[in-house]
């Protein structure tokens, strides 16, 4: 190149990268100078000299912090972080707010805008009720990811009132190992409801004195539990894993009077 003044400017950064720094160095004794300002280098080139400019871009990688909550009545009056032990295993911790708990064992699928699962998906909440996934590229004002609960913890079901999947936007750099991850990551919170088993049983105190039966139905009239009949106890029906709701029972009885 002939001597003269030149400017070099970086254009649009690729993908999830942004400009971080620019430095130029001169080799030769011709008296060339090179100054930088932002993404632009201004070079006053002299004969026989060489100028090397190094642009450094930063890859934007953020994180998503997922929290799984649910009701656990035993947490009432317990301080935040109190472990919940069931059958010798920890199923979560109390949040310190009423009967609310953070639950272990919920599984989540995380996908990018193209529907592809990210590295770290599926992710399962730990005993503190949280799971974090990082190394998620983002650009511009933020990049959207989908977080879907695919498996609820044992004894719980996804709350139908919640949005599932949820869309979250990753807007800043973060690593799950950061001490301040709760303020850096995109947050997704899912609430689950505890399930209940219902069965019905009706037995005469004096054998043969009555043929009582009990039938339980849900709000739509569907039978969820039936004690069966005395003549055919195999008709008995029970249902496990019912979501919270209103269930009613019908009681039918016939009495045989002695002659």
* Res 181: pLDDT: 96
* Res 96: pLDDT: 96
Tell me, yes or no, whether 137 lies in a domain: yes
Same domain, 137 and 93: yes
d(CA 78, CA 174): 32
Helix, strand, or coil (residue 184): helix
Tell me, yes or no, whether 257 lies in a domain: no
d(CA 105, CA 195): 15
Q: Which residue ranges in the chain fall short of pLDDT 70?
A: 208, 229-235, 251-259
* Res 68: pLDDT: 96
Same domain, 118 and 185: yes
* Res 33: pLDDT: 97
Quick one: which of 194, 238, 161 has its CA closest to 91? 194
Q: What is the pTM of this model?
A: 0.72
Domain finish residue from 38, 59, 80: 59
Same domain, 178 and 207: no
Same domain, 119 and 149: yes
Tell me, yes or no, whether 245 lies in a domain: yes
DSSP letters for 151-175: EPPTTEEE-TTS-SSEEEEE-S---
Our count of domains for the chain comes to 3
Let me know: does 122 contact 128? Beta carbons within 8 Å: no
d(CA 141, CA 149): 26
Same domain, 40 and 146: no
Domain that holds residue 208: 197-252
* Res 6: pLDDT: 97
| H helix intervals, 43-201 | 181-184
* Res 234: pLDDT: 57
């Amino acid at each position: 190149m002939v001597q003269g003044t030149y400017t070099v400017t970086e254009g649009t950064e690729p993908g999830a990268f942004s400009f971080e720094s620019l430095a130029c160095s001169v080799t030769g004794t011709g008296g060339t100078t090179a100054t930088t300002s932002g993404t632009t280098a201004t070079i006053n080139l002299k004969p026989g000299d060489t100028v090397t400019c190094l642009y450094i871009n930063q890859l934007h990688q953020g994180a998503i912090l997922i929290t799984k909550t649910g009701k656990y009545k035993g947490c009432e009056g317990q301080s935040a972080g109190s472990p919940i032990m069931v059958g010798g295993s920890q199923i979560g911790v109390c949040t310190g707010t009423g009967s609310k708990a953070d639950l272990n064992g919920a599984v989540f699928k995380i996908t990018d805008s193209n529907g592809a699962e990210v590295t770290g998906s599926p992710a399962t909440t730990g005993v503190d009720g949280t799971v974090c996934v990082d190394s998620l590229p983002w650009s511009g004002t933020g990049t959207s990811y989908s977080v879907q609960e695919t498996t609820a913890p044992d004894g719980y079901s996804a709350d139908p009132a919640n949005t599932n999947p949820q869309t979250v936007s990753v807007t800043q750099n973060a690593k799950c190992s950061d001490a301040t991850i709760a303020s850096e990551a995109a947050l997704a919170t899912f609430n689950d409801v505890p399930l209940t088993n219902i069965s019905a049983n009706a037995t005469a105190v004096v054998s043969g004195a009555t043929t009582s039966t009990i039938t339980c139905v849900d709000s739509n009239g569907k039978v969820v539990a039936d004690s069966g009949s005395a003549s055919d106890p195999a008709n008995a029906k029970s249902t496990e894993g019912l979501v919270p709701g209103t269930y009613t029972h019908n009681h039918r009885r016939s009495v045989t009077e002695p002659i």
